[in-house]
Amino acid sequence: MKLSADAVLREHLVRRKVLVTGATGFIGSHLVERLVHLGAEVTAAGADLGWRPIVRDLVQQGRVRFVNPGTFWQSASLPRVTPEFEGIEYVVHLDYEMPHGRTALEKALDDGTRNVLGVLRLIQQLPPSVSRICFASSVSVYGHGNVRPVKETDCPHPATIYAIGKWTTENYLKQYATESGISLAILRYAAVYGPMETVPRAIPNFIRQVLGGKPPVINGDGEDVRDYVHVVDAVQATVSALAFAVHETQICNVGSGQGYTTREIAERVIRAAGANMQPVFRSEERASAGIVCDISQACSRLGYEPRVDLADGLHDEIQWFRCNPQFWKNS
């Protein structure tokens, strides 16, 4: 009898000790819940338990171990192995802090200290039992203005501090994987969206505006194109990368393989919310072309198949906003 996809994943992940950094964030919360469902023994690392109930409830139920690393992996004086990480086999690094600063240089220094150096310090803490690392990168490493779906073999042209930091971290991790012999998966996520997303990005911004009775505001002409992937699909790709790791480093785009303009997204949010309004354009400035993923490598190597289409995904996120006004109103 052929096993279901979940049964196959469970076979590979049950009782595996998995560390998830950034575990109380948007993607992290969904990932922790999925890993627990598949039988993994999860250690969730984060600054605090946060406002999202998923991880907090699992910790309170004793089904997930929570560690608050504070800034220990950014310190210059560190123990060789952090005791809380003893026995960890797999690591998913989602943790990321937006850099602060008034100038590009200040932001670059902050990003290098918090995020790039932070990853290196984290690696320094890991025990010898770790055999796999999955790093959350971004399709932004390819740069902007791509008129065709980008492939993993395309030369990156990171154009923002965020993208430069992700690209730099990818290279450090590849070097570490080569020297240590661990398995490394680099997942270049497209724009991830879904329930519990409240950060100031296009989809949650538009939803907040529309549910508040205001038209969605678009910066520029709205013709920039993005690839949007539902958090359920992003999480499925991530657990598959852990379960089906290979010896060499593998890099996979994780998206839907389809592009939508910002104007289309705003109009779809309006329709999905049942509102009667039109988007407002803040300026006439022509937007950058954006980016769409070629996901064939993730499909072939990870068995990845995006299942949540944009219409259903937007409906899910709008319903979450409607049911949870305490997390976004007055914010």
147 or 27, higher pLDDT:
27
- Quick check: 1 pLDDT over 50? no
Residue whose entry in the numeric block shows the structure tokens 């519990």? 196
Is the model's pLDDT at 220 over the cut of 80? yes
> Is-contact 188 241, C-beta < 8 A?
no
In the chain, which ranges are E strands? 17-21, 41-45, 65-67, 90-93, 132-138, 183-189, 191-193, 217-218, 225-226, 228-230, 250-254, 260-261, 280-281
Supply the angle between the helices 231-243 and 26-37 in degrees, to the nearest 10: 50
Task: Place 42 in a pLDDT band, splitting at 50, 70 and 90.
Answer: very high
Interval 175-203: pLDDT, tens: 999 999 999 999 999 999 999 998 889 99
The token pair at 177 is 């994987």
| Res 52: pLDDT | 86
The single residue listed with the structure tokens 């064939």 is 296
At 282 the pLDDT is: 85
| pLDDT tens profile 268-293 | 999 999 999 999 998 766 666 789 99
What is the percentage of the chain residues whose pLDDT exceeds 70?
A: 92
Please state, in angstroms and rounded to a whole number, the distance separating the CA atoms of residues 214 and 266: 12
Fill in the DSSP letter of residue 116.
Answer: I
- Measuring CA to CA, how many Å separate 117 from each of 98, 175, 286? 14, 14, 36
Please report the pLDDT score of residue 199 as a whole number.
87
When pLDDT is cut at 50, 70 and 90, the band that residue 310 belongs to is very high
pLDDT, one tens digit per residue, over 221-236 is 898 899 999 999 999 9
Mean per-residue pLDDT of the chain: 90
Is the confidence at residue 76, as pLDDT, over 70? no
Write the pLDDT tens digit of every residue in 122-156: 998 899 999 999 999 999 999 976 668 999 999 99
- Domain map (residue ranges) of the chain: 5-191+230-254+292-308
Q: Which of 187-196, 244-253, 312-321 has the lowest mean pLDDT?
A: 244-253
| Euclidean distance between the first and the last CA atom of the chain, given in angstroms as a whole number | 51
DSSP string, 9-72: HHHHHTT-EEEEETTTSHHHHHHHHHHHHTT-EEEEE-SS--S-HHHHHHHHTTSSEEE--TTG
Q: How far apart are CA 16 and CA 42, in angstroms?
A: 8
φ, ψ for residue 134, nearest 5 deg: -120, 120
174 pLDDT band (50/70/90 cuts)?
A: very high
Pairwise CA distance, residues 320 & 324, whole Å:
6
What CATH number matches the domain at 5-191+230-254+292-308, 3.30.420.40, 3.40.50.720, 1.10.645.10, 3.10.150.10?
3.40.50.720
pLDDT of residue 98: 86
Q: Report the percent of the chain where pLDDT is more than 90.
A: 69
pLDDT at res. 78 = 54
In this predicted structure, which of 69-78, 94-103, 167-176, 197-206 has the lowest mean pLDDT?
A: 69-78
pLDDT at 23: 94
pLDDT of residue 2: 45
38-42, 167-171, 325-329: range with lowest mean pLDDT: 325-329
